[in-house]
Each structure stands twice: as C-alpha cells, then as structure tokens.
C-alpha cells in the first residue's frame, strides 16, 4: 500500500480540519480523497458510493470549507430519501462544523412541526437537509429561498428513485440556480439516475471506488449482521467462545481504539489501542507485546495496523466495516500469516449490507453469516473451563491434605455429604461469573433470506439493471398480528406506484419505511399494511398527504367495496381482510429487509462484572 493522503493535504479549511481532528478521523477514505478536491474547486461529481464509505464527509467537509458564514440564506441543500438519513446528514454537518461559530443546519422532513421549520428558516440557515416532499412544500410556499444556493447534493439518489421521488427531485433541480454545483451519490446507477446526471450535472467527475483483490483460502470469513445486541456485547460473546491466540480488532477512529481497548480491559482481556496518535516507539512496543504473547488483543485503525506481521494473530475482527474491499483485504491479511489458518469476523449494520456484497464480489470469496454464540454455547464453554480447572488442580496440586482434612471434619460435624460440600463450593466459585448463561436472544437473520437479497443485488450491479418494481419482489415474513390494513384512495388509474406510497407515508407520517408492509394496488384505490396503534393525529395527517396529486384519504380497511377490481380473484371476500397472509405479488420490501427490529439489548452482566481474564488455553 502506498502512503495515504492526509486530510491536511486536501486544502480543507482550518476549522474543518480541526473538527476532523477532534472527531478522530486519521486519513480520508478513498471516496473522500477523490471527491474533496473536486468539490473544493466547485466541480460536479457523480459518486458511486454506498453507506459506510464515508460519503457524507466526502461532500460535507469541502462544502463546509467554502461556506460563507455571514450569508444567512441556504448555501447548501442536501436531498435525502428518508427522514432518518436527513437527520443523520444534518448531524454530520453539525459535527464537522463544530469550529464554525454561528453555523446553522436544518433538517426538514415530513411529519415534523411546520411552524418550527418556518421559524428556523426565517431566522436563517446555512445548510438545509431535507426530504424531497417537504423541500418542495417550502419552495412552493416561498419559505425556502434558494436564490443564493451554491451547492446541491443528491444523497442516495437510487433510493430516492425507488421511493418514487425522482420527479420531485427533478422539480427541485429546476428550481435552483443554474450556477449551482451538484454532487450526486448513488450506490447503483439505474437508467433514470443516469438521465438525471446527463440532464443536470456539468462535466461531472465520476468517482467509483472499486477494486478486485483476492484473499487467501486459509482465512475463514464470516459476518454478523448487527441487530438486537449491541456491538460490544456481541464482541465479548464472541471473545468468550472463539479460541483465539492473537487478535486485531479494526475500528474507524483513533478515539474508538482507545475506548474499545479500555472496555475490553475492564472485561478482563489483555487489550491495547494502536493508532496514529501513538508515537513510533509506543506502537512498536504494542506490536512486540502482541508478538510475544504479553498482549492478546490490539484495537487498531487501518493506518496504524499497516504492514503488521505477527504470526500468532489468529483472528481479525472488523468491528467497524472498512470503507472498501481493498481495505478489507488489507485488514484480514493480518491473519493467516506464515501458512497458518485464520478467521476474519465482520460486523455489518443493516445499512451497510451493500458494502458487504461489494466486498464479497470484489474478493470473490463468500463471507458467511455467523450467529452469535447462544447462551447454551457460552454455558457449555464455561462448564468445560470449570471442570478443566478441577482436573488441573487435582493433577498439579501435590498436597491437598490440609483441605481434605478440613472438609472431612466439616462433613462429619454437619452431617453433609462431600457432594453437597463440593456443590456449595462450586456455587461460590462461579458467583461472579455464573456457569449458566441465558441471553435474551434475538432471532438472527436467516442465511436464506440474506441470499435472496444478494440475488437481487447482483442483478442490480450487472449493467445497472434495476430490480424492478418493489411489488414484484418476494415478501418478507411479517408478523401480521402487528399490522392493520388500510385503504387509500389512490390506485393504478392514478398512476400511483408502491414507491410513491411508501415515500409519502414514510416521510409525511414519520413511519420508518421498514415498518410499512404489504402494498396492493387496485385500479381506483390501494391497500397498505401499517403497524397497529397508529395515532389519530398521524392518520389525520395521512388523510391529507398527496400521491400523484390526490389525497390519500386513508381509512382502516373493512374489506371489499363495490365497483372496484380484484384481479385474479373470483370472489374477493375474507382474504382481503386485515389478517390476510399476503401473497407474493404485493410485497414491499424495504432496504433493511422489512424486518421489525427488536429494540432491546441483551446483556451478560455477570461476565462484565467478573473481571475474568481468559487464559490462552481457554
């Protein structure tokens, strides 16, 4: 690997550089290194990048560097498909602008109180991050003035297309100054997005970070889909049962190396941070200790771990997913040295799935789904350790006569059997770290489903062929007990598409798209499954939301109504009710796979408190 470009080489403004330093980023990610110089010079870009590549900073850092704080009309507008992304991007701007006094960024999305948005817009903001529908609203009302707009970013453009926003996006593009700079980011490049680029971008520099690298056959590669359990708890569970010798855990920031090292030390592991802030001598010392077995776990950033060659590294954990396949290959190459075998474990957040597929495709090796060790597995592991300790003590401790006498006397005096005494002692020994472990386990995502996803993804990537309309895709399992079926007064004859409906409901009612279920289009109306317990306020709001310029007029579906069509069905009776199992034709699958996410964390409090230090022989 060649020497990395540094943030300091990129002509970013001083306050922005200071903020990056505080956040703890060491070097720019590939998309940042490529996009920042172009955006700083005012050029347009077309970035093929997915979440996890550092794309937000790739546009936020250069645009903030050029910001004129004295001017209060929006200079930067970011369009994002969902409110969650809008909030996330606004937060990122806030973070990178920490050293810009008086800086204002405003996220605007449907479902949010209009009065407060209007007030803040009136007061003046430098950056607006919004969903297309709400941005259009403000433009129509005249409450958003884009006359002084310098830069427009279209974030996750393909997602906006899928959600039915592309016409809105084009409308907004038409209502911004022609002199603006435009940056478009999209994970895939369907025809419609390509058309937007052709029509609205000028001499855009195309940035596509792709590389094909191969990985050794001696490295077993697995991933865990982050869900239900937080990453630290998942990691400690893995550490407990994985037979590792030396381990490198990769994180993204210098700060995270230190934090994670401290947390693992507190849990009894011999762990140390390795980052670019440590001087050469300290870094070398840590690696030497890892080599000689005085240290078992090193938590490192990419830069600091460059070139580490330590034979006893049996495991690499990608706690934070790397930016691209090249970094991944470099990271996992730290194990499986000198002909040994190794194991690479990758944590993937649902939003980062695409990056996983990219890595898998680029390395041409399957990365298989792993399940977290269950309570039963951890229990078995602890029992094995415990019984081994008994065996070792009996074998190695030459003279136990003092204890023999003590317990014989106790047994006699109290009339209890040796087994009972042994049980009491065993109980005492494990109190801090119980042998019987029970996790509140969350059902892991099934490999099969995951493969379904990959199939779709592959088709996407091949020559940009889109996956087709959402309603054609297989439906995910959904617990229908938790869903109600609603009727909306827009249908096929009004040219509504499922994407339009999802987009409108997600952004205007603030219901995350992953909680929006089965959508079925009919000629004059449609039905949509939504989580039970939607408040009256939200329903009132949804009644007025427009799709294809028609109000949804949403109402709880009570079954078939006369005069409309039921394609493919002779008698549309009961099976149209709210508890219908759902056919394959009408399923809507969101990007997280439409799974209701569990919202609690399981914890192994006992092992946290124990201060247990696993032995190498464990």
Site residues, ligand AMP (CB under 6 A): 25, 28-29, 32, 51-57, 252-253
Measure the CA angle with vertex 251, ends 246 and 257; round to 5°. 75
User: Which CB, 25 or 269, lies closer to ligand AMP?
Assistant: 25
User: Which CB, 30 or 132, lies closer to ligand AMP?
Assistant: 30
Least Å distance between CB 55 and ligand AMP? 5
CB contact at 8 A, 35 and 204: no
From the list 170, 103, 101, the residue with the least C-alpha distance to 132 is 170
Least Å distance between CB 277 and ligand AMP? 13
Least Å distance between CB 550 and ligand AMP? 35
Instruction: Extract the tokens encoding 325.
Output: 């396949």
User: Which CB, 25 or 357, lies closer to ligand AMP?
Assistant: 25
User: Which CB, 130 or 586, lies closer to ligand AMP?
Assistant: 130
Q: What letter does residue 564 receive in the DSSP assignment?
A: -
- DSSP E strand boundaries for 363-442: 368-369
User: Which CB, 105 or 490, lies closer to ligand AMP?
Assistant: 105
> Distance between the two ends of the chain, CA-based, in angstroms?
36
Least Å distance between CB 422 and ligand AMP? 51
Q: In what order do the strands lie in the sheet with 127-130?
A: 105-108, 127-130, 76-79, 151-154, 181-186, 45-48, 205-208
User: Which CB, 29 or 257, lies closer to ligand AMP?
Assistant: 29
Using CA atoms of 606, 607, 612, 614 in order, give the dihedral in degrees to the nearest 10.
Answer: 150
Least Å distance between CB 192 and ligand AMP? 23
Please identify which residue in the block is written with the tokens 């247990």.
Answer: 612
Least Å distance between CB 511 and ligand AMP? 22
Least Å distance between CB 156 and ligand AMP? 10
User: Which CB, 49 or 152, lies closer to ligand AMP?
Assistant: 49
CB contact at 8 A, 165 and 128: no
Return the HEC string of 16-31.
HHHHHHHHCCCCCCHH
Query: How far is the C-alpha of 612 from the C-alpha of 107, rounded, in Å?
Result: 46
User: Which CB, 25 or 165, lies closer to ligand AMP?
Assistant: 25
Distances 89 to 34, 60, 127, 321 between C-alpha atoms, Å: 20, 9, 11, 19
User: Which CB, 51 or 151, lies closer to ligand AMP?
Assistant: 51
DSSP conformation letters of 148-171: T--EEEETTHHHHHHTT-HHHHHH
CB contact at 8 A, 162 and 499: yes
Least Å distance between CB 554 and ligand AMP? 33
Query: How far is the C-alpha of 504 from the C-alpha of 440, rounded, in Å?
Result: 36
Residues in the chain: 618
Least Å distance between CB 293 and ligand AMP? 30
Instruction: Extract the tokens encoding 496.
Output: 């509504």
From the list 15, 8, 128, the residue with the least C-alpha distance to 66 is 15
CB contact at 8 A, 513 and 591: yes
User: Which CB, 53 or 314, lies closer to ligand AMP?
Assistant: 53
Least Å distance between CB 59 and ligand AMP? 9
């Amino acid at each position: 690997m060649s020497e990395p470009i540094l943030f300091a080489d990129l002509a970013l403004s001083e306050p922005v550089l200071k903020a990056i330093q505080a956040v703890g980023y060491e070097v720019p990610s590939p998309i940042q290194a490529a996009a920042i110089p172009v955006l700083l010079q005012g050029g347009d870009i077309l970035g093929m990048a997915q979440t996890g590549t550092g794309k937000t900073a790739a546009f936020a850092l250069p645009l903030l560097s050029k910001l004129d704080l004295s001017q209060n009309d929006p200079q930067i507008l970011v369009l994002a498909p969902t409110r969650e992304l809008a909030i996330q991007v606004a937060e990122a701007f806030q973070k990178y602008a920490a050293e810009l006094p008086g800086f204002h960024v405003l996220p605007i999305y449907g479902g949010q109180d209009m009065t407060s948005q209007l007030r803040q817009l009136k007061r003046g903001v430098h950056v607006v991050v919004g969903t297309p529908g709400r941005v259009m609203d403000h433009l129509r009302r005249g409450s958003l003035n884009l006359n002084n707009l310098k830069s427009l970013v279209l974030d996750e453009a393909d997602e906006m297309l899928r959600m039915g926003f592309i016409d809105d996006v084009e409308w907004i593009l038409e209502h911004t100054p022609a002199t603006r700079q435009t940056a478009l980011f999209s994970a895939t490049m369907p025809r419609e997005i390509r058309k937007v680029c052709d029509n609205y971008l000028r001499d855009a520099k195309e940035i596509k970070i792709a590389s094909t690298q191969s990985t050794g056959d001696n490295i077993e590669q697995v991933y865990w889909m982050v869900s239900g359990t937080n990453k630290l708890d998942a990691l400690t569970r893995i550490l407990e049962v994985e037979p590792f010798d030396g381990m490198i855990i990769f994180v993204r920031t210098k700060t995270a190396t230190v934090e994670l090292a401290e947390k693992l030390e507190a849990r009894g592991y011999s762990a140390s941070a390795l980052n670019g802030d440590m001087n050469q001598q300290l870094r070398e010392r840590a690696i030497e200790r890892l080599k000689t077995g005085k240290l078992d776990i090193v938590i490192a950033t990419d830069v600091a771990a460059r070139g580490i060659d330590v034979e006893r590294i049996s495991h690499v954990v990608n706690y934070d997913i790397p930016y691209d396949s090249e970094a991944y290959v470099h990271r996992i190459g730290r194990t499986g040295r000198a002909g040994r075998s190794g194991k690479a474990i990758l944590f993937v957040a649902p939003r980062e799935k695409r990056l996983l597929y990219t890595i898998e495709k680029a390395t041409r090796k399957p990365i298989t789904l792993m399940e977290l060790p269950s309570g039963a597995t951890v229990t078995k592991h602890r029992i094995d350790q415990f019984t081994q300790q008994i065996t070792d003590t009996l074998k190695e401790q030459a003279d136990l006569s003092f204890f023999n006498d003590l317990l014989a006397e106790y047994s006699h005096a109290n009339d209890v059997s040796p087994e009972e005494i042994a049980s009491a002692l065993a109980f005492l020994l494990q109190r801090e770290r119980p042998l019987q472990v029970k996790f509140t386990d969350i059902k892991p995502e099934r490999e099969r489903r995951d493969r379904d996803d990959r199939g779709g993804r592959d088709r996407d990537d091949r020559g940009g062929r889109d996956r087709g309309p959402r309603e054609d895709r297989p439906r995910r399992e959904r617990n229908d007990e938790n869903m109600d079926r609603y009727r909306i007064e827009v249908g096929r004859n009004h040219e509504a598409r499922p994407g339009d409906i999802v987009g409108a409901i997600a952004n205007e009612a603030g219901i995350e798209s992953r909680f929006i279920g089965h959508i079925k289009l009919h000629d004059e109306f449609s039905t949509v499954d939504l989580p039970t317990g939607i408040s009256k306020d939200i329903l009132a709001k949804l009644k007025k939301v427009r799709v294809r310029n028609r109000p949804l007029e949403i109402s709880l579906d009570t079954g078939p109504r006369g005069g409309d069509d039921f394609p493919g069905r002779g008698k549309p009776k009961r099976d149209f009710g709210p508890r219908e199992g759902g056919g394959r034709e009408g399923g809507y699958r969101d990007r997280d796979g439409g799974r209701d996410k569990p919202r609690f964390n399981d914890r192994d409090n006992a092992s946290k408190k124990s201060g247990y230090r696993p032995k190498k022989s464990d």
